[in-house]
A and B are shown apart, each in its own frame.
Chain A
Amino acid sequence: MSFYLVQFLSGLATAATLFLVSSGLTIVFGVTRIVNFAHGSFYMLGAYIGWSLAERIGSTPLGFWGGVLAAALAAGVLGAVMEVLLLRRLYRSPELFQLLATFGVVLVVQDVASWIWGPEDLLGRRAPGLRGSVEILDQVFPLYDLVLIALGPLVLAGLWLMFHRTRWGTLIRAATQDREMTAALGVEPGRLFTGVLFLGSALAGLGGALQVPREAINLGMDMGIVVEAFVVVVVGGMGSLMGAFVASLLIGQLQAFGILVFPEITLVLVFLFMAVVLVLRPYGLLGRAEEAPPTAASPGPPLSASTGIAAWAPLLLLALLALVPLFAGEYALIVLTELVILALFAASLHLLIGLGGLVSFGHAAYFGLGAYGAALLATSWAAPMPLALAGAPLLGGLGALIAGWFCVRRSGLYFAMLTLAFAQIAWSVTFQWYGVTGGDNGILGVWPDPWASGKTAFYLLTLGLCGGALFLLRRVAFAPFGYALRAGRDSPLRAEAVGIDVRRTQWFAFTLAGSAAGLAGGLYAFSKGSVFPTLMSVPTSVDALVMVLMGGVQTLAGPVVGAALFHLLRTEIMSLTDLWRLILGLVIIGLVLAFPKGVVGFARDLVQRGRAA
């Protein structure tokens, strides 16, 4: 009995940290509608700054807690700086474009933190006066964890008072409910947003600084926490502080007791939980329908098919690309092959984001399913390459068919997080199903048949297949199905009224995007010779998202250009310097500021403006 009590208390301590971080995220999201990937970075910075302060002044209780507070404030200031210098310039860009900017910030912070604090894990000082443990029914429990447990509700109470008893808090609640109306009533949104970013980042920094006495501070803390914080926010219901509190309690307990019952599936437990919650409750536990975020793409000018010379441009490009092997070296062909594959991958995601208004955070799942399908067919069943390649889109499509049925029933960030949950579940299955997938050691020896094993032959094959698939995706955009999909994006209500089954259209689009990604994955497997679970991990999904956003969501060429740009930048910078994350991050931030509608969107505006003049 006493054991369960202590396990319960441990769960509460975990929950407290989770709540601090996710409360900040939910406040920021509620007001600004920004999907702030950099939230984890502020958590990490809070931890590092907290560590430095604890080393210098943390030997007395006053110094230690002062240091924790100072670290939280410093993280808050950095968050406000990010808002003023970066995000403020992007509020008029399409929704979600800020996500790309915050991703750039994540990359920059990683390298800067490594540069300032060095690569090694830093074990901080224990909190003075709280080093020991207490006996609770003859089980030992650390004192510090008790303090954390008390801190969670205290912060919740403090935030509640601030939101309900101060003018500023009232304004924030107003902005959470209706941003436009609040601005119309004369509240300057800029100052409000800066304040909110400060508050949110300070909470993240507080969560980080409080970790100093518990664990070694390391450079992987940012990505670890941000995904979990998103899970908490979504489970609780976005913008709902109480929801975040309840969700972190539940998830803390789930982790504490889950490891007793199923020690092997700790990898996915929280994602399974989130999937179940979202399937049962469309807006999380305590979220309300009107707080649901708008869909991703603000439509912008409608897509239009090219005519005249421009209509032939893709074919011309294809012909040019087919001629490349005549003069390019082996390595150039390899990179081009990857580039063509990634272009298809990005274009398949664009079908969802650009045309469907559905932002998927887990698109890598179908890329990975295709890769694994092809690899398994080619190795375990010794299928010839064409057959294995044919299996790739089938498996990718099948996976998307199943996941899509659940996902399209939700919208906005709830949709995004549900796709992420399915991707994580697929990832952990491949990661742990040793007998079939080889686990994290992957499947080796997936090489093309002899007729396609030359670099040129495989490149041309890839070009043909991806070119064909891209052509089909383009046809889809201008087919009645594509118009129906866009109608569902722009106004679901009107689309339903004219007889379009929006949900079913989106479901089919999801499946189609899944199979296109699957084909890309299958080709990728054969180009690399091996597949690993990393292919369906979160970073791969994020890469795809970055490619689409970089190119711009409003044009069909956007994802293709974005994929080319991102992949070339990444490979070129990576081979030049170890500081590639810093440089890539700065380039992304620069691009975001210079081209707030994506590279292709910018080019289009430029020409249109030129014509108007």
Chain B
Amino acid sequence: MQRRTPLRPNRRATLLAAAGALGLLALPLGAARAQDGPIRIGEINSYTGLPAFTVPYRQGWQLAVEEVNAAGGLLGGRKIEVISRDDAGRPDDAVRIAQELVSNERVVLLAGTYYSHVGLAVADFAARNKVPFLAAEPLSDALTWTKGNAYTFRLRPSTYMQSAMLVEEAAKLPAKRWATVAPNYEYGQSAVAWFKQMLKEKRPDVEFVGEQWPALGKLEAGPTVQALAAAKPEAIFNVTFGADLSKFVREGEQRGLFRNRPVVSVLTGEPEYLEPLRDEAPEGWIVTGYPWDQIDTPEHKAFLDAYRAKFKDFPRLGSVVGYSTFKAIAAAIEKAGSTEPQAVTAALKGLQLSSPFGPITFRASDHQATMGAFVGRTTVKDGTGTMTGWRYADGANYLPSDEAAAKMRPAP
């Protein structure tokens, strides 16, 4: 009986919506490729998902682009134009955006990303579409090693490098019984795995007596601290960061976990993580980080002054990463002498440039940059956390040899 009902309007609505959809889609069709117009770079990052990290990063690359363009641009006067997009922290969105940037915006190179899985997704896209991709912030070792590809390069020191830098210091401690606490995902797991492996190589007498794997962002601080204390370790290796870290530090202080117990902690010296802890920043942890207010090399001073003048704010580590990423892109294009993807990719291999941290090289063997980090101890000064007794650990010294690294990469 109902089958006789005449014309159903819901179909009409479908058609209308579809027509509207097509109209929307037809709009942003590609700009023509120009040989003398600006050089277009596609940039993707988790701006809404992780604003605390990505906004300083964006300011960093904005400064670099401004400097390059003010100095007359590249390839005889062509300016850099960056088309920047938010990936909402989702790899599938990032792949779609990469496609949009390549097809519609005709970018010659992709850059950015923060999360490792987003970085890997874009890297895979880049290899497939033969577009060079300079990953700025992801830490996963897979990006340049087990899942490395010909078109992907990475600037920031990887999980392995961060662990290696800390192992060197940890091995000097008398502690023999270690406990670890790390967020339960690839970054936390590989940081702990590398730390254990390398520390045991240097100090066969250490043992690992306890481990905690809180879910990322969901650390149950009290129970975790108590469980760590129950293992009676002589030292602790910490990989938690962000909101988890502040809970862990607070509970740990209140429950005396850190009393007479050295803590070795990845990334905690970066202003992104140290600054929100204010005067409750832990005292004497051995960390990797970035003591922005204390580095007085000329490269860093120039960067610091320019950054503060432009943004009326101090730089975070992300700012240095964003700045150096785009300086590297500019150097690669200049070295290639063109914007052809193959030429730029070839130029990135072995590219040398000066960064605020000193000279860095993109290794030809595994496409990892030799940018390092600062290793030192945390302390509180004037009501904020900072680093003391630090030294610059050059990334080149904390990477496996070229041959060993190349062996970990898939066959081309």
Chain B neighbourhood of A457, CB < 8 A: none
A432 at the interface (CB under 8 A from B): yes
Chain B neighbourhood of A581, CB < 8 A: 48
Knowing A310-B8, A606-B9, the reply to whether A442 touches B17 (Cβ < 8 A) is no
Q: Is the CB of B25 within 8 A of A336?
A: yes
Chain A neighbourhood of B95, CB < 8 A: 528-530
Chain B's interface: helix, strand, loop or mixed, by majority? Answer: helix
Chain B neighbourhood of A214, CB < 8 A: 221, 247, 250-251
A151 at the interface (CB under 8 A from B): no
Q: Is the CB of B18 within 8 A of A10?
A: no
Question: How would residues 286 to 321 of chain A score, 1 for a CB under 8 Å from any chain B CB and 0 otherwise?
Answer: 000000000000000011111111100110110011
Q: Is the CB of B117 within 8 A of A557?
A: no
| A3-B212 Cα distance, complex, nearest whole Å | 17
Chain B neighbourhood of A549, CB < 8 A: none
Chain A neighbourhood of B99, CB < 8 A: 330-331, 334
Chain B neighbourhood of A432, CB < 8 A: 184
Number of interface residues, chain A, beta carbon within 8 A: 105
| A338-B218 Cα distance, complex, nearest whole Å | 32
| A305-B8 Cα distance, complex, nearest whole Å | 8
Partner of A441, one of B15, B52, B142, B222: B142
B5 at the interface (CB under 8 A from A): yes
Chain A neighbourhood of B3, CB < 8 A: 304-305, 307
Q: Is the CB of A259 within 8 A of B212?
A: yes
How close is A59's CB to chain B, nearest CB, in angstroms? 14
Which of B251-289 touch A at CB < 8 Å?
Answer: 251, 254-256, 275-278, 280
Closest-by-CB residue of A relative to B116 is: A441
Q: Is the CB of B10 within 8 A of A441?
A: no
Knowing A141-B255, A441-B147, the reply to whether A331 touches B277 (Cβ < 8 A) is no
| A568-B23 Cα distance, complex, nearest whole Å | 11
B35 at the interface (CB under 8 A from A): no
Q: Is the CB of B25 within 8 A of A10?
A: no
Q: Is the CB of B186 within 8 A of A255?
A: no
Chain B neighbourhood of A219, CB < 8 A: 51
| A439-B243 Cα distance, complex, nearest whole Å | 23
- Among the stretches A117-125, A394-402, A512-520, the one at the interface with B is A117-125
Which of A402-457 touch B at CB < 8 Å?
Answer: 431-432, 434, 439-442, 444-445, 447
- Among the stretches B224-232, B301-309, B323-331, the one at the interface with A is B224-232
| A264-B220 Cα distance, complex, nearest whole Å | 13
Chain A neighbourhood of B11, CB < 8 A: 306, 310, 313-314, 557
Which of B74-113 touch A at CB < 8 Å?
Answer: 85-86, 88, 90-93, 95-97, 99-100, 103-104
Chain A neighbourhood of B9, CB < 8 A: 310, 603-604, 606-608
Interface size, B (range): 35 or more
Q: Is the CB of B88 within 8 A of A121?
A: no
- Among the stretches A160-168, A193-201, A497-505, A570-578, the one at the interface with B is A570-578
Chain A neighbourhood of B211, CB < 8 A: 263
Chain A neighbourhood of B92, CB < 8 A: 524, 528, 532, 534-535
Q: Is the CB of A218 within 8 A of B227?
A: no
A327 at the interface (CB under 8 A from B): yes
Chain B neighbourhood of A386, CB < 8 A: none
Knowing A224-B218, A339-B21, A524-B92, the reply to whether A308 touches B243 (Cβ < 8 A) is no
Q: Is the CB of A306 within 8 A of B7?
A: yes
Q: Is the CB of B243 within 8 A of A216?
A: yes
Partner of B103, one of A329, A524, A564: A329
Chain A neighbourhood of B18, CB < 8 A: 317, 320-321, 564
| A379-B114 Cα distance, complex, nearest whole Å | 26
Knowing A220-B217, A306-B11, A307-B6, the reply to whether A329 touches B22 (Cβ < 8 A) is no
Which of B10-69 touch A at CB < 8 Å?
Answer: 10-15, 17-18, 21-22, 24-26, 28-30, 47-48, 51-52, 55
| A440-B3 Cα distance, complex, nearest whole Å | 49
Chain A neighbourhood of B195, CB < 8 A: none
Closest-by-CB residue of B relative to A579 is: B48
How close is B409's CB to chain A, nearest CB, in angstroms? 13
Chain B neighbourhood of A555, CB < 8 A: 10
How close is A528's CB to chain B, nearest CB, in angstroms? 5
| A568-B21 Cα distance, complex, nearest whole Å | 7
Closest-by-CB residue of B relative to A309 is: B7
Q: Is the CB of B14 within 8 A of A444?
A: no
Question: How would residues 250 to 276 of chain A score, 1 for a CB under 8 Å from any chain B CB and 0 otherwise?
Answer: 000001110110011011000000000
A83 at the interface (CB under 8 A from B): no
How close is A136's CB to chain B, nearest CB, in angstroms? 11
The residue in B9, B88, B103, B125 that gathers the most chain A C-beta atoms within 10 A of its C-beta is B9
Which of A316-352 touch B at CB < 8 Å?
Answer: 316-317, 320-321, 324, 327-332, 334-336, 338-339
Q: Is the CB of A140 within 8 A of B4?
A: no
Q: Is the CB of B8 within 8 A of A306?
A: yes
How close is A435's CB to chain B, nearest CB, in angstroms? 13
B185 at the interface (CB under 8 A from A): yes
How close is A585's CB to chain B, nearest CB, in angstroms? 12
Which of A165-182 touch B at CB < 8 Å?
Answer: none
How close is A328's CB to chain B, nearest CB, in angstroms? 6
Chain A neighbourhood of B24, CB < 8 A: 568, 572
A36 at the interface (CB under 8 A from B): no
B137 at the interface (CB under 8 A from A): no
Q: Is the CB of A532 within 8 A of B117?
A: yes
Chain B neighbourhood of A580, CB < 8 A: 48, 86, 88
Q: Is the CB of A335 within 8 A of B243?
A: no
| A565-B242 Cα distance, complex, nearest whole Å | 35
Question: How would residues 130 to 148 of chain A score, 1 for a CB under 8 Å from any chain B CB and 0 otherwise?
Answer: 0011000001111001000
Q: Is the CB of B230 within 8 A of A3?
A: yes
How close is A592's CB to chain B, nearest CB, in angstroms? 17
Question: How would residues 169 to 191 of chain B score, 1 for a CB under 8 Å from any chain A CB and 0 otherwise?
Answer: 00000000000000011100100
A60 at the interface (CB under 8 A from B): no
Knowing A142-B255, A338-B96, A603-B10, the reply to whether A564 touches B17 (Cβ < 8 A) is yes
| A339-B255 Cα distance, complex, nearest whole Å | 52
B73 at the interface (CB under 8 A from A): no
Partner of A308, one of B6, B117, B226: B6
Q: Is the CB of A264 within 8 A of B26?
A: no
| A259-B225 Cα distance, complex, nearest whole Å | 11
How close is A109's CB to chain B, nearest CB, in angstroms? 13
Q: Is the CB of A266 within 8 A of B15?
A: no
Closest-by-CB residue of A relative to B276 is: A121
| A16-B195 Cα distance, complex, nearest whole Å | 37
Q: Is the CB of B85 within 8 A of A444?
A: no
How close is A376's CB to chain B, nearest CB, in angstroms? 16
Q: Is the CB of B222 within 8 A of A266?
A: no
B246 at the interface (CB under 8 A from A): yes
Knowing A122-B276, A142-B251, A256-B220, the reply to whether A578 touches B47 (Cβ < 8 A) is yes
Knowing A123-B280, A445-B124, the reply to whether A266 touches B218 (Cβ < 8 A) is yes
Partner of B247, one of A141, A215, A600: A215
Residues of A within 8 A of B (CB): 3, 6-7, 10-11, 13-14, 111, 114, 119-123, 132-133, 139-142, 145, 214-216, 218-220, 224, 255-257, 259-260, 263-264, 266-267, 302-310, 313-314, 316-317, 320-321, 324, 327-332, 334-336, 338-339, 431-432, 434, 439-442, 444-445, 447, 524, 528-530, 532, 534-535, 539, 555-558, 560-561, 564-565, 568, 571-572, 574-575, 578, 580-581, 599-600, 603-604, 606-608
What are 28 A-B pairs at a CB distance below 8 A? A10-B226, A114-B51, A121-B242, A121-B243, A123-B276, A132-B254, A140-B255, A140-B256, A141-B255, A142-B222, A145-B222, A263-B211, A310-B12, A313-B12, A329-B29, A332-B26, A332-B29, A334-B96, A338-B96, A439-B186, A445-B124, A528-B91, A530-B121, A530-B125, A575-B97, A599-B13, A600-B14, A604-B10
Can you name 10 extra interface pairs (CB under 8 A) apart from A441-B142, A528-B96?
A: A119-B55, A133-B254, A140-B254, A214-B221, A215-B247, A218-B242, A266-B220, A303-B2, A444-B123, A604-B9
Closest 7 CB pairs of A and B: A119-B51, A10-B222, A313-B11, A607-B9, A216-B246, A304-B2, A603-B13
